[in-house]
Amino acid sequence: MSNFQYRRLDKNDVAVLLVDHQTGLTNLVQDFSPDDFKNNVLALGDIAEYFKLPTILTTSFEDGPNGPLVPELKAQFPDAPYIARPGNINAWDNEDFVNAVKATGKKQLLIAGIVTEVCVAFPALSALEEGYEVFVVADASGTFNQTTRQAAWSRMEAAGAQLMTWFGVACELHRDWRNDVEGLGTLFSNHLPNYRCLINSYNAGKAAAAK
Amino acid sequence: MSNFQYRRLDKNDVAVLLVDHQTGLTNLVQDFSPDDFKNNVLALGDIAEYFKLPTILTTSFEDGPNGPLVPELKAQFPDAPYIARPGNINAWDNEDFVNAVKATGKKQLLIAGIVTEVCVAFPALSALEEGYEVFVVADASGTFNQTTRQAAWSRMEAAGAQLMTWFGVACELHRDWRNDVEGLGTLFSNHLPNYRCLINSYNAGKAAAAK
Amino acid sequence: MSNFQYRRLDKNDVAVLLVDHQTGLTNLVQDFSPDDFKNNVLALGDIAEYFKLPTILTTSFEDGPNGPLVPELKAQFPDAPYIARPGNINAWDNEDFVNAVKATGKKQLLIAGIVTEVCVAFPALSALEEGYEVFVVADASGTFNQTTRQAAWSRMEAAGAQLMTWFGVACELHRDWRNDVEGLGTLFSNHLPNYRCLINSYNAGKAAAAK
Amino acid sequence: MSNFQYRRLDKNDVAVLLVDHQTGLTNLVQDFSPDDFKNNVLALGDIAEYFKLPTILTTSFEDGPNGPLVPELKAQFPDAPYIARPGNINAWDNEDFVNAVKATGKKQLLIAGIVTEVCVAFPALSALEEGYEVFVVADASGTFNQTTRQAAWSRMEAAGAQLMTWFGVACELHRDWRNDVEGLGTLFSNHLPNYRCLINSYNAGKAAAAK
Amino acid sequence: MSNFQYRRLDKNDVAVLLVDHQTGLTNLVQDFSPDDFKNNVLALGDIAEYFKLPTILTTSFEDGPNGPLVPELKAQFPDAPYIARPGNINAWDNEDFVNAVKATGKKQLLIAGIVTEVCVAFPALSALEEGYEVFVVADASGTFNQTTRQAAWSRMEAAGAQLMTWFGVACELHRDWRNDVEGLGTLFSNHLPNYRCLINSYNAGKAAAAK
Amino acid sequence: MSNFQYRRLDKNDVAVLLVDHQTGLTNLVQDFSPDDFKNNVLALGDIAEYFKLPTILTTSFEDGPNGPLVPELKAQFPDAPYIARPGNINAWDNEDFVNAVKATGKKQLLIAGIVTEVCVAFPALSALEEGYEVFVVADASGTFNQTTRQAAWSRMEAAGAQLMTWFGVACELHRDWRNDVEGLGTLFSNHLPNYRCLINSYNAGKAAAAK
Amino acid sequence: MSNFQYRRLDKNDVAVLLVDHQTGLTNLVQDFSPDDFKNNVLALGDIAEYFKLPTILTTSFEDGPNGPLVPELKAQFPDAPYIARPGNINAWDNEDFVNAVKATGKKQLLIAGIVTEVCVAFPALSALEEGYEVFVVADASGTFNQTTRQAAWSRMEAAGAQLMTWFGVACELHRDWRNDVEGLGTLFSNHLPNYRCLINSYNAGKAAAAK
Amino acid sequence: MSNFQYRRLDKNDVAVLLVDHQTGLTNLVQDFSPDDFKNNVLALGDIAEYFKLPTILTTSFEDGPNGPLVPELKAQFPDAPYIARPGNINAWDNEDFVNAVKATGKKQLLIAGIVTEVCVAFPALSALEEGYEVFVVADASGTFNQTTRQAAWSRMEAAGAQLMTWFGVACELHRDWRNDVEGLGTLFSNHLPNYRCLINSYNAGKAAAAK
């Protein structure tokens, strides 16, 4: 008999780590279309905000070519711990960052960043080694090309990280639509254009019937 | 020496879970062409019917934008347990659904649904945790794009789910053509256009020779 | 100023030529998935029937490896001229075929077949030379691979053939939904799974509102 | 010597035709990712607004499964002529629509819509026949798949339509950045995520230097 | 420390199972181009012959639409055990087949066939359960499309099968070019067109220098 | 009315130009798989031989890195004019080559070679300028990647070259199967693996029926 | 009879226009891999230098987010006319640029730039209108994605521009290897890694034979 | 709780094995574009040199069609152990090679080569069996096509090899930018064209601000 244990996202036990979503580095991402990638990253930001998940921002050399943190994220989390790393490539090598993670008291970590095989994979592997449950938000993490992405995924899978995408994250955190239909529906409407269309078609139908 | 145990589909021990194959959600699926996806889902329906597998239908918010259950499935399983979930995203969080599964008395579960990383993956992981053998019918499950699908597959593979496609499911259940050549052949002819062509070519050849 | 003349499909002036949609040849088609291709060909058949377009069937060596005409088409057009060519590769080299075309009295020809660069392109070029307006139903025509298809399209475009797909053909022939909403809607519902979903969602919404 | 005449978009001589960007039809589009398509359509809307181009909206059966006009467009052009066609598939077959076009007094038409081979191609061909210069905004026009798109493009190219994408349209209309750096830059920043990143990196650099 | 054991192909301990490489079934394969697939299958045949590996042929319903065994393989292994299964879909359910495998006395099995998720995967899983070391020749195994292939690979990987391609198989069996440069070189020249070109270029250079 | 003239391959008026199919250059081709490309080139060779078309071979620097002519072609046309160009990149710049073409007395030219945008396109454009009818055998011509190929095709299309693939060439030359079923069937069987399968299935069926 | 005239690149009549190859804009290019695009652009630079073609550099807002001209090009053409346009999007709208072009006295223009549909297409169309022969170096021109590129190519093809890639340009300019084997070979070795390999293999073979 | 141990590259404990990067074999690689592959291999060479990692070169039959070692690598590591294997296909079967590895005293091995499933996978599996930590530099390893690559990756993953790409390797070795910003930045600038652009844009901005 299998002894698999379903490590399931629990909104009371999750912290979000946004690693190096900087404007320069974003210009290197080519495994997603720019529109898709922007949407995915901002969807993750909205999820963190909606579920009030403790969120930690970190950047690498933001005064250099890597560029500043994407402004939308900066604006969305004005009070979040913000660690501008002076040089550590693996965020987990930075004591302030690890302390910020520990300070959340959470044991499940949602990680996304640029580039996948470095800024995401390195802290993911470090966190796994320290016993955290690691969930990679794969579509809010970008890199140079598909081959690089596949290799990065392979390494993280082998280490026990769970690969998810932002929509699955939102659903697993929410558990039950009855907790808030309006709120989750709005989030989906804002980040899933085709779901927004379904909603609009549906509402139009209802409005017509009501006449 | 390997201690691998081949957990093989046994038609006497299988239940089929069709999760959220709803008309609105179907409009979100983009990792298959619409024709391919429709064909795969209906093929799975025909398999469940042909092998008389206990089948459970469930939907999420079918009165809203997600839309009603695909009519063909509704018509095909008029007496199947049908759980219109009031809000649980993971069908396994719904007591009625789990009870329906348990009531089948089967320990092998064939799961398909929309979208793969949520409506399929969540109950698959829950069922694995409870000791069921889980077989995902990967081509009767759809989602937003290829990247999301790959991540969903990765999470389910790591948990011990077996990834299959409808043709393999039918073959593993049937075991031996001699059990019913006509029946299985018809099922394949209806859902594999190129196999249908082989049959037609063959029959035409036989007919010609008989003249 | 442009002197372009819009040669528009006119249901009173169109004949349909279905060239070599045979079961063996279908097994060679790899520029579409089998489900997509079957759907496209049968959609074209339904269009021809729905609009009562004179339709001509022809095959090449149907008693050999090429196989018989796809049975669905044979059944759909029992009274159509049916030319089993004794050897001409270009159907237009067959006098009976050309006579059948001429007997329709139409000057617009919708052509589809297998394989695109031969069974479609050759008669298309011949018909263009004789002054017919030629419309290739590109997605009801299949061939070995994408490269071959591109070359075939290039040759036909250069000759003045108009490349269309079955959905555009139906729409251009119908002109106005008011001519028959039910009929055209049914045709689309049968051959566009995602449109069928839109219709089902819409009807469910209306039904719910009516309660 | 070539006698090619560069028919160049002139902001004083352009009207924009947005044809059937409805919520239901949008759910059929699969030749772009939903994020890309939404972005492209809204970018075109912003261009029309920014350059104050006369814009005409039209829909087909918006009370049925095709769904209402995408709300963003409706809100953006509250005073635009809005023709809810009672049944004409080709918008150009609708007298009100043609009158609205003529009333603009423009001879260059930017056309986009859903689906490309019908709602875009049909009026494009009709307008070309009447002597208009037609520019198809190819990336704000969607359809079922890549093959259908290629066929639709082929037919419109052969008729003399110019294929463009929204970025090229904006640039050709603007002609010179000095006309308004701020305005065009904002438009690009809103619809080209990677250009927005370039701007943010640049501004951060300037800010740093100013310290 | 890792306790990985490299289960390496040993030409003295390998048997080859060619499962259902039949002419009809070959017409269903679409995850390889026909040229590539033919080449890969015949390369595997040549490997089996070259290394004098005991080879077992089996077919399913070869008098029906599945068609006869590919003639080249039939001719290449006139004395090989040949099991025309009367109905078992999983070759391992056929006692004669299993007996033939056991009679070889080998514990490493190279398996290839059509279609991958059934004719290859089923006996692969059965053999793994019985303690054989299973090596799937992935490029000499074909199926309906890439998605089906990926699911089939996933199931076999999870069970412990090693995925290889024919070139790797040949190299791992040969171990050292000095065992026979001529023989292996010829095999590669026959099945790797670009390697053949390298050889021809090289020989031409040598011949020129010798003048 | 169209004044299109169908310039159709006439086996009595065709010469074949094989330009720079050399072993080194073949190693540069990446727009086809090596198996597909080899098959296509040899199929064209067999067509030239089968239809007894005057064939001209030419190479560029065959004693250097470009390598010798592919040996199969050399062997197949021992008596063909063979022009080892001393340096002209465009074969048409070589007087011997043009003289050889003129000596055939044919006005239709089938051209294939490596690489498409140079060794094929240059002589194709030159020949078009001199009034020849040029048919490019697109799948027997290879180059560095798909983008390069598309650009090369575009330039040749614009000049009036007809793009064909080897199968279409064979069919257009043969005109009628009755001219020689056996011969053409053999050619197809040798170069279309899936057609060979159709033939084998058919023959097996006939043999079975004859028992 | 065709009246096609082969407008062939003549190194004595060609000028090269490099339009907006700036570092910021390069970060927007996603229709080529960054390695491929860099290689193609630098290859074109080397061609211009090697053939001593008059070359004109121009940039758009190089002090802003678009970034400076790619340094390699700046260094390679220190004495070339360099027009930093103050705002004109179409370089041809800039009088200095057009004067620089006219000053070359050439009537054939090789154009490449970023992005294809704007910085390349606009001046290409303007130059065609003025009677220049325009050759687009398609692989040294980049843009946002494949769809945008296809539309840009379509517009330029329709206008009479010839689409080429850098390798074809070099070959058409050089005409005959005997003009300089060493020079052209070095250029190819530097920009075609696989050709470099052919040369190295060849030289190694010669060296070995000489021992 | 997970007991995953992060086996992290430690520049003091790493040796680099470059296996069969020969000019002939490079001509067989088709799973990367030639530019990408060349760049990746040379990037790995620069990493080995930059971090002063002991590097071992080995080749197979370099006097035959496989060709000599890529000259750049030969020049870069003049004093590295260089094992021209007399025939062993698996480098690990060669005693000199294994001795060279052992002589480095390192327990982490970075392996890359041509072709992936043989020259990389075989020694990787052998080294894993002997207890080494194996890191495959996946993008500096090439093979015939994507399918072969996927199978090769699968086998190595299952054995416990970690799949990385050169950029991740450099980052994991460097750990902290403060160790040497200049050096690592130069390496990235040389091998990541888009990162080079970011740097150039940044420097231009700084220079402008300094005026």
Contact call for B and C: 3+ CB–CB distances under 8 Å: yes
Partner residue facing G68 (CB), from H38, H70, H204:
H204
A202–B64: do the CB atoms touch at under 8 Å?
yes
Partner residue facing F200 (CB), from E23, E200, E201:
E23
- Predicted TM-score (pTM) of this structure: 0.97
Q: Which fold is adopted by the domain H14-175?
A: Rossmann fold (3.40.50)
C91-100 tens-digit pLDDT:
999 999 999 9
Rounded to a whole number of angstroms, the distance from the CA of A196 to the nearest CA of chain D is: 8
Question: In the predicted model, what is the mean pLDDT of chain H?
Answer: 96
On the question of pLDDT at A135 being above 80, the answer is: yes
F14-62 tens-digit pLDDT:
999 999 999 999 999 999 999 999 999 999 999 999 999 999 999 999 9
Residue F1 has a pLDDT of: 47
Taking CA–CA distances from C207, the nearest residue in chain A reads: A209
Residue H55 forms beta bridges with which residues? H16
Contacts of C100 (CB under 8 A, 6+ apart): C56, C81, C83
Element (H, E) at C174: helix C166-174
Query: Catalytic residue among E29, E111, E119, E169, which?
Result: E119
Partner residue facing F139 (CB), from C121, C128, C148:
C148
F201–E37: do the CB atoms touch at under 8 Å?
no
By C-alpha distance, which of C129, C183, D154, C192 is closest to C173? C183
CB atoms within 10 A of CB A178: 10
Percentage of chain D lying above the pLDDT 90 cut: 96
Partner residue facing F35 (CB), from E36, E71, E197:
E36
Whether the CB of H64 is below 8 Å from some CB of chain E: the reply is: yes
Query: Catalytic residue among B9, B14, B48, B119, which?
Result: B119
Whether the CB of B147 is below 8 Å from some CB of chain E: the reply is: no
Q: What DSSP state is assigned to residue E116?
A: I
CB pairs under 8 A between B and E: 97
Whether the CB of F174 is below 8 Å from some CB of chain C: the reply is: yes
Q: Which residues of B are less than 8 Å from A164 in CB distance? A: 117, 151, 155
- Tell me the C-alpha distance between H192 and A192, whole Å: 33
Residue A1 has a pLDDT of: 47
Mutating which of E195, E201, E203, E211 best tests the G interface, going by the most G Cβ atoms within 10 A? Answer: E201
Whether the CB of G188 is below 8 Å from some CB of chain F: the reply is: no
Q: What DSSP state is assigned to residue F158?
A: H
Token pair 């069921």 is at which residue? Answer: B132
Q: Which residues of A are less than 8 Å from G34 in CB distance? A: 30, 144
On the question of pLDDT at H21 being above 70, the answer is: yes
- Mean per-residue pLDDT, C142-158: 98
Whether the CB of G203 is below 8 Å from some CB of chain D: the reply is: no
H112-162 tens-digit pLDDT:
999 999 999 999 999 999 999 999 999 999 999 999 999 999 999 999 999
F198–B201: do the CB atoms touch at under 8 Å?
yes
The contacts found for H175-178 with CB under 8 angstroms, 24 or more apart, are: H175/A88, H175/A89, H175/A90, H175/A93, H176/A87, H176/A88, H176/A89, H176/A93, H177/A60, H177/A61, H177/A87, H177/A88, H177/A89, H178/A86, H178/A87
Residue E2 has a pLDDT of: 58
D178–G60: do the CB atoms touch at under 8 Å?
no
Task: Return the active site residues of A.
Answer: 119
E23–F70: do the CB atoms touch at under 8 Å?
no
Domain chopping of chain H, boundaries: 14-175, 178-211
Q: Which residues of A are less than 8 Å from B152 in CB distance? A: 165, 168
Amino acid identity for residue H134 in this structure: V
Percentage of chain A lying above the pLDDT 70 cut: 99
H30–F27: do the CB atoms touch at under 8 Å?
no
Q: With a CB-CB cutoff of 8 Å, which residues 70-89 of chain E face chain F? A: 70-71
pLDDT tens digits in sequence order for chain B, 211 residues long: 458 999 999 999 999 999 999 999 999 999 999 999 999 999 999 999 999 999 999 999 999 999 999 999 999 999 999 999 999 999 999 999 999 999 999 999 999 999 999 999 999 999 999 999 999 999 999 999 999 999 999 999 999 999 999 999 999 999 999 999 999 999 999 999 999 999 999 999 988 888 7
Residue A2 has a pLDDT of: 58
A201–B65: do the CB atoms touch at under 8 Å?
yes
E30–C27: do the CB atoms touch at under 8 Å?
no
Q: What DSSP state is assigned to residue D177?
A: G
Mutating which of A58, A59, A89 best tests the H interface, going by the most H Cβ atoms within 10 A? Answer: A89
Question: In the predicted model, what is the mean pLDDT of chain A?
Answer: 96
Rounded to a whole number of angstroms, the distance from the CA of H194 to the nearest CA of chain D is: 12
Residue B1 has a pLDDT of: 47
Q: Checking phi first, is residue G90 left (phi over 0); if not, alpha (psi -120 to 50) or beta?
A: beta
CB atoms within 10 A of CB B103: 12
- Tell me the C-alpha distance between G42 and G190, whole Å: 10
Contact call for B and G: 3+ CB–CB distances under 8 Å: no
Q: Residue A128 has which token pair?
A: 């796994």
Partner residue facing E2 (CB), from H27, H93, H131:
H131
- Tell me the C-alpha distance between H5 and H13, whole Å: 17
Partner residue facing A28 (CB), from H5, H139, H194:
H194
Residue A3 has a pLDDT of: 81
Contacts of B76 (CB under 8 A, 6+ apart): B45, B46, B48, B49
Mutating which of F5, F93, F147, F150 best tests the G interface, going by the most G Cβ atoms within 10 A? Answer: F147
Taking CA–CA distances from B90, the nearest residue in chain A reads: A175
Pair C36, C44: CB distance under 8 Å: no
Q: Which residues of D are less than 8 Å from A71 in CB distance? A: 200
Contact call for E and G: 3+ CB–CB distances under 8 Å: yes
H34–F33: do the CB atoms touch at under 8 Å?
no
Residue H109 has a pLDDT of: 98
Whether the CB of A146 is below 8 Å from some CB of chain B: the reply is: no
Burial class (CB in 10 A: 0-12, 13-18, 19+), D158: middle
Q: Which residues of C are less than 8 Å from B65 in CB distance? A: 201
| Blockwise average pLDDT, block size 10, chain G, 211 residues | 87 98 98 98 98 98 94 97 97 98 98 98 98 98 98 98 98 97 97 97 89 75
CB atoms within 10 A of CB B155: 25
Rounded to a whole number of angstroms, the distance from the CA of F79 to the nearest CA of chain C is: 31
Burial class (CB in 10 A: 0-12, 13-18, 19+), G211: exposed
- Mean per-residue pLDDT, E165-191: 97
Q: Which residues of F are less than 8 Å from B198 in CB distance? A: 201
The CA distances from residue H140 to C174, E164, G37, in Å, are 57, 20, 19
Residue D4 has a pLDDT of: 95
- 3-class SS of residue D103: helix
F147-194 tens-digit pLDDT:
999 999 999 999 999 999 999 999 999 999 999 999 999 999 999 999
The contacts found for H90-99 with CB under 8 angstroms, 24 or more apart, are: H90/E172, H90/E175, H90/H118, H90/H122, H90/H123, H90/H126, H91/H17, H91/H19, H91/H20, H91/H58, H91/H119, H91/H122, H91/H123, H92/H122, H92/H123, H92/H126, H92/H127, H93/E175, H93/E176, H93/H126, H94/H58, H97/H56, H97/H58, H97/H123
Contact call for F and E: 3+ CB–CB distances under 8 Å: yes
Taking CA–CA distances from D94, the nearest residue in chain C reads: C176
Q: Which residues of D are less than 8 Å from G146 in CB distance? A: none
Partner residue facing H165 (CB), from A89, A151, A158:
A151
- Mean per-residue pLDDT, A70-78: 97
Q: Which residues of D are less than 8 Å from G88 in CB distance? A: 175-177
Q: List subunits contacting chain A, requiring 3 or more Cβ pairs under 8 Å.
A: B, C, D, G, H
Q: What DSSP state is assigned to residue G98?
A: H
Partner residue facing B204 (CB), from C26, C36, C67:
C67
Residue F211 has a pLDDT of: 75
F91-144 tens-digit pLDDT:
999 999 999 999 999 999 999 999 999 999 999 999 999 999 999 999 999 999
Q: Which residues of D are less than 8 Å from B145 in CB distance? A: 33
By C-alpha distance, which of G106, G115, G169 is closest to G137? G169
